[in-house]
Amino acid sequence: MDDDILTIEEVAKYLRVSERTVYDWAQKGEIPAGKIGTVWRFKKSEIERWVNERLSSNKPVASIHPVRMRNVLSPDRVVFLDYSRKRDALVALSERLAAAPQIKSKQEIVSEILRREDLMSTAIGRGIAIPHVRLSSVTDLVVAVGVSKCDIQDFNAFDDQPVRLLFMIAAAYNQHAYYLQTLSYFSAKLKNNELREGILSAADPAAVYELLIKQDED
C-alpha cells in the first residue's frame, strides 16, 4: 500500500484519538476522506493540512461524541452468566469482551480487570457492577454485558446487595474523557428500575441487547 494512504487505525494513532472518533468524522464529512469500496481511506498530506488548519485557527481537533449503545456493544457481547463468585464471572465476561476486534490482548484484559477489582470493588449498588479498564492494547472503547442467573455475593457493594448485572468497559488509553462519559452513561441509565427488571427477566441475551439498544432513543 502507498505510504501516503492511511487507514482509520493509522489516522487514529496519528491524531491520538479513537478509531470511532475518526470514523464519525469521516461519516459526517468533517475530515478529508474517501471510500475504496466500503472502506474509509485517507491521504496523509490532506490529514496533515487539516490538522494544521485547525491548530492555526484554534479549532478543537477532537470532540467527545455521545454514547450510543449500538456503537460500543454488539449482540455477541451480551451473555448470561451462572457464577456465584465474582472472579469467575469477571473472567468469563472479560474473555467474551476480548473477542472484540478492538481488543488486542486477551491475557491483558483478563488480568487488568481482575487487578482493578482487587484495588476497589466496581459494584455501584442496585445489583450492578461496572468493571472497567483503559489499556494501550485496546484500540477503541467496547462494552460487554453479563446477566447473572444467580446472586454474586462477594462484590462487597456499599449497599450490601448481591450483583446480578455486569457492564464491562474497555477503552483505549487516550480515551479518558469518553471513558468517563460512558461510565456516567451506564450509572445514569441503570437507575431506571424498569430497565433493570427488564434485563433480569429477559428470556435470552438477544432480548437484553434490544432493551439496551432502545436506550439510544431516549
Cite the active site residues: 132
Query: What percent helix, strand, coil does the chain show, rounded to 5?
Result: 45, 20, 30
Rg, Å, the chain Cα set: 19
What the block records as the C-alpha cell of 16 is 491520538
Q: How far apart, in whole angstroms, are the C-alpha atoms of residue 74 and residue 72?
A: 7
- The string of DSSP letters for 83-128 reads -SSHHHHHHHHHHHHTTSTTB--HHHHHHHHHHHHHHS--EEETTE
Helix axes 44-56, 8-15, angle to 10 degrees: 30
CA–CA distance from 94 to each of 146, 150, 168, 192 (Å)? 10, 18, 7, 25
Q: How far apart, in whole angstroms, are the C-alpha atoms of residue 204 and residue 43?
A: 45
DSSP letter, residue 133? E
The dihedral sign for the CA sequence 139, 215, 148, 85? positive
> For residue 51, how far is the Cα from the chain centroid?
26
